[in-house]
Structure 1
Amino acid sequence: MKRQKNDLAVAMAIAEATLRPAMRTVPVKTAEQQSRECCFVSANFWWYNAPDW
């Protein structure tokens, strides 16, 4: 079942996250890290979706 993303669901997720103090946060990536990841993902996409010649 695919769920729709709406304001109520987002608000409930935020409220649940605030009630869990042990939940770890993920650090924000730098522009360099995002750039590297983008190149890696793009290369993998082309590698796995290349036509078989």
Structure 2
Amino acid sequence: MSDAATMFRSIVPRDIRRKVCQLLRQGWPLIHAIVVARTWQIAVLMHERE
């Protein structure tokens, strides 16, 4: 596995990796992609609670 892949796996939580990858492909910077993916995940969970 390349150093970049190892670093990606160590930085990005497993539960949001797919969404982060989608955002990265759209040109988002890594940190923004992580924040947006986590925020999206929290919003979905809050919506399901209602």
User: TM-score range with shorter-chain normalisation?
Assistant: 0.3 to 0.5
Whichever of the two has the greater Rg, that structure is: 1
Q: Provide the TM-score with structure 2 as the length reference.
A: 0.44
Q: Which has the higher helix share?
A: 2
